[in-house]
Amino acid sequence: MAVDSLEKTAVSPTTPPAPVVRKVKRRKRGVSGWVVLALLAGVGLLMLFPFWIAVINAFKPAPDYIANGPVSVPTELDFSALVDFWGGVDFNRKLLNSVVISGSVALIAVALSLLSAFAIGIGRIRGRVWILALFMLAFTIPQEALVYPLFVLTRDLGLYDTMTGVVIILAVLQSAFGTYMLSSVLGTFPPEVLEAARLDGASRFQVLRLVVLPLTRPTMAVLMTFFFIWTWNDFFLPLVLLPSADNQTVSVALGALSGQYTSDPTALAAASLAGILPALVFFILFQRTLMRGVNLGAVK
């Protein structure tokens, strides 16, 4: 139910979704049908093409590339470019950093969102409209307008160049969005359920833990997935606040690659592939969640 209403509010601001019972009536395909299909498939191939050539060239020996160019399929599999890149930037370390940071941010941000949304959506505290407007400000504001003070503050607090600092900052920023999202879901929470819990003598915290939490779990799963992936992809704040190589995330490590990798024609393909792989894993793991919640904002 929770996910349903999340989808509804996100997708259709005006009309409730009409029951989609489309009859699969196959009209005559005709020549025009095939032409259009070929055209769209062509566009699809263009979209996928960069992925394809990154994959084939990541395993291509450099002399092969120089002789036959990037389009040809490699005659033999050569892992050296990938191995060089992996070892050269200590990619295992970056993966670990990204997993730790994204995982912590997702957990903390969802917890913060739930607490705030509980007060706003269920508690209907006074001034909630203004509080929500402020939270909305938090995720629309460009991070450039926060970054220098955050740099100064984390430095003074000893949190500069620590994962803790980045986790706290990103968790708060993302929970602003989560609060916004969850508040409206909780705002439509069936009042009779809450009333029943109260009559049974449940405290506020018990209502949160035993009634609200289980019923909103699907929504929170969507939010957590998004927080994880947003954090994984995040670039600006981790770039500024985690300068040392030991703390870098995957995104920043790739984005900040210097000239050393541009002389060798297959090195950047290997680097791209290393960046694509985890993203692809998430896509396969979370595909349904992603497509369901895409309206949450894949604009990043």
Partner 1 sequence: MSSSNTATHTVAPRRARQGTSERRSGYWWYILPGAVGFLAVVAVPFGMNLWYSLTSFRGVGDPVFIGLENYQRLLGDPLFWASFRHSVAFIVAMAILPTAIGVVVAAVLFNFISPKFGSKVASFLRATYYLPQILPIAVAGVLWKWMYQPQYGIINTTLRDLGLGGLAQNWLGDSDLAIYAVMNVLVWLQIGYTVVVFMAGLSRVDPALYEAAELDGATWWQQFRTITLNQLRPEIAVVLITTSVAALKVFAPIFVLTRGGPGTSTIVPAYFSFSNFFTTTKVGYGAAVASVLALMISVVAVALLRYQTRNSEGFEDGRG
Find the binder of partner 1 among 145, 192, 258, 259 (CB under 8 A): 145
Restricted to residues 84-103, the positions that interact with partner 1 (CB under 8 A) are none
CB of 250 to partner 1, least distance (A): 7
CB of 292 to partner 1, least distance (A): 9
- Listed in sequence order, the residues at least 6 apart from 177 whose beta carbon sits closer than 8 Å to its beta carbon are 113, 135, 139, 297
CB of 166 to partner 1, least distance (A): 11
Compute the distance between CA of residue 49 and CA of residue 236 in angstroms, rounded to an integer.
28
CB of 77 to partner 1, least distance (A): 20
Q: Which range of residues in 75-83, 88-96, 215-223, 276-284 is near partner 1 by CB under 8 A?
A: 276-284
Restricted to residues 27-86, the positions that interact with partner 1 (CB under 8 A) are 27, 29, 33, 36-37, 40-41, 43-45, 47-48, 50-51, 53-54, 65-66, 69-71
C-alpha dihedral sign at 256, 259, 261, 265: positive
Restricted to residues 168-187, the positions that interact with partner 1 (CB under 8 A) are 168-169, 171-173, 175-177, 179-181, 184
Find the binder of partner 1 among 209, 213, 283, 288 (CB under 8 A): 283
Find the binder of partner 1 among 80, 92, 164, 203 (CB under 8 A): 203
CB of 138 to partner 1, least distance (A): 5
Compute the distance between CA of residue 199 and CA of residue 193 in angstroms, rounded to an integer.
10
129-137 contacts: CB < 8 A, separation 24 or more?
132/179, 132/180, 132/183, 135/176, 135/177, 135/179, 135/180, 136/176, 136/180
Count of beta carbons in the 10 Å neighbourhood of residue 250 = 26
CA angle 94, 99, 102 (to 5 degrees): 115
CB of 128 to partner 1, least distance (A): 9
Q: Which is nearer to partner 1, 72 or 80 (CB)?
A: 72
Compute the distance between CA of residue 147 and CA of residue 134 in angstroms, rounded to an integer.
18
How many binding residues for partner 1 (CB under 8 A)? 125
Q: Which is nearer to partner 1, 202 or 221 (CB)?
A: 202
Q: Which range of residues in 73-81, 86-94, 144-152, 214-222 is near partner 1 by CB under 8 A?
A: 144-152
Find the binder of partner 1 among 99, 107, 131, 210 (CB under 8 A): 131
- Listed in sequence order, the residues at least 6 apart from 231 whose beta carbon sits closer than 8 Å to its beta carbon are 101, 102, 105, 106, 170, 174
CB of 163 to partner 1, least distance (A): 16
**CB environment 29-52: b (16+ within 10 A), e (fewer):** eeeeeeeeeeeeeeeeeeeeeeee
Phi, psi (rounded to 5 degrees) for 141: -60, 135
Find the binder of partner 1 among 140, 244, 258, 260 (CB under 8 A): 140
Restricted to residues 146-165, the positions that interact with partner 1 (CB under 8 A) are 146-153
CB of 79 to partner 1, least distance (A): 18
The 3-state DSSP class for residue 22 equals coil
- Listed in sequence order, the residues at least 6 apart from 160 whose beta carbon sits closer than 8 Å to its beta carbon are 151, 154, 241
Restricted to residues 205-264, the positions that interact with partner 1 (CB under 8 A) are 208, 229-230, 232-233, 235-236, 239-240, 250-252, 254-255, 257, 262
Rounded to the nearest angstrom, the gap between the alpha carbon of residue 127 and the centroid of all alpha carbons in its chain is 31
